[in-house]
Homo-oligomer: A and B are copies of this chain.
Amino acid sequence: MPTIQDVAKLAGVSTATVSRALSGSRPVGAGVKRRVQEAAEQLGYRHNVLAQALRTQRSRTIGMVVPQISNPFFPLLVEAVERRLQQDGIDLLLCDSHYDLDVEARRLRTLTDRHVDGIIISPLHATDSAPAIRTAAELVPVIQIDRQVEGLAGHWVGVDDAVGFSQLVDLLVARGRRRLVFVSSQLDNSSARDRAQTFEKSLARHGLEPAAPALLGRFDVSWGLEAAQRLVDDFGDSRTSGHGPTGGGHGGYGVYGGPDGVVCGDDLIALGVLRGMSRAGIAVPDEVAVTGFDDIAFAEISDPPLTTMRQQWDVMADECARLLKQDLTGGSRRIAVAPLLQLRGSTPRIAPA
């Protein structure tokens, strides 16, 4: 591997000049510049990023920590961020915390050890993630994305849950639904908390109360399935007896007296609920409407397709990149991006007469 020395020798200049000519950090004679470039070209010179990083204390790398990359929500985020950073010639060190606080803390350490220029993290816990993040934030700019920890004067970019969930509740109410229930993950992360709050507040605006206590489990499909089953069981629907793995048939419309609208904390849960209802033979949206959140790819092809809020990943990625380029000392930026309603078949089409 040729070094800057080799280029300098071949071009007949000093290494400093080569550095300047190649990086453009200082003006350099036009002829010299060309000679240097030719020499570099000829030798197949490639910049040693490691040496540069050691010297400048900037690694042109940012670290990203997500709770679980195989949750289809996060790849959408990661993809948008990666694409955006690439535009600035910055690489992405991806870390998966596997929903484990220790792992999360360790990953933050390795990122700061590597002198990344910034960290984008979706903290897995609303309070317990705080210490590790605080420590990291003392060394390098940290942007929280999507989720955030409480009581930390940090920076955050995410979706506007308040806008999102009040729109969904308003929609269901406008379409005549009055018995709404909220199904989400445990309230151990900020997203779940914000969403649960907004749900209740929005209902209150309409003078309504939840039809049942919120069902809180995990952000995944199987929890949605289970929650649907519970709803059906709790409300003593006669059709629940036949919920075999092949689906419980469309026959025999008994009395379903449960909630007529299920607002889910994310699309994974909603897709599970949809499937659970279909297995129990309960018609969506006629008997029960279902809404999701995020608009992952599969929301479009469920049966019926899922009404949900689309997150604007690109906008969030832009905001993260912008923040990381700024001087972030002092204060804490909080950027909430409004999601967009995707009206599909899992909610009733028109208002009742």
Contact = CB atoms under 8 A, between A and B. Distances in A.
Nearest to A96: B82
Contact of A54 (B54, B61, B271, B272): B54
A124 B113 CA distance: 33
B82 A91 contact: no
Interface stretch (A28-36, A65-73, A211-219): A65-73
Indicate the size class of the contact surface on chain A: 35 or more
B68 A96 contact: no
A303 B247 contact: yes
Interface string A44-78: 00111111011000010100000011101011101
Given A50-B50, A91-B110, A247-B303, A76 B82 contact: no
A115 interface: yes
Interface string A308-321: 00000000000000
Given A245-B305, A245-B345, A92 B94 contact: yes
A91 B51 CA distance: 19
A157 interface: no
Interface in A73-87: 74-76, 78-79, 82-83, 86
B278 A50 contact: no
Contacts of A304: 246-247
B94 A50 contact: no
B59 A78 contact: no
A114 interface: yes
Contact of A79 (B49, B50, B69, B247): B69
B96 A79 contact: yes
Give the number of times this chain occurs in the complex, counting copies. Answer: 2
A298 interface: yes
A109 to B, nearest CB: 8
A79 B75 contact: no
A312 to B, nearest CB: 15
A54 B50 contact: yes
A179 interface: no
Contacts of A114: 49-50, 91
A275 interface: yes
Given A275-B303, A301-B272, A93 B95 contact: no
Contacts of A278: 303
B50 A59 contact: yes
Given A48-B113, A50-B114, A247-B303, 19 more contacts: A46-B113, A48-B115, A49-B115, A50-B54, A50-B115, A51-B54, A54-B54, A69-B79, A70-B79, A82-B94, A83-B96, A83-B98, A94-B94, A221-B297, A221-B300, A245-B345, A246-B345, A271-B301, A275-B301
Q: Which 5 A-B pairs have CB atoms at the shortest separation, nearest pair first?
A: A94-B94, A70-B75, A70-B79, A275-B301, A69-B75
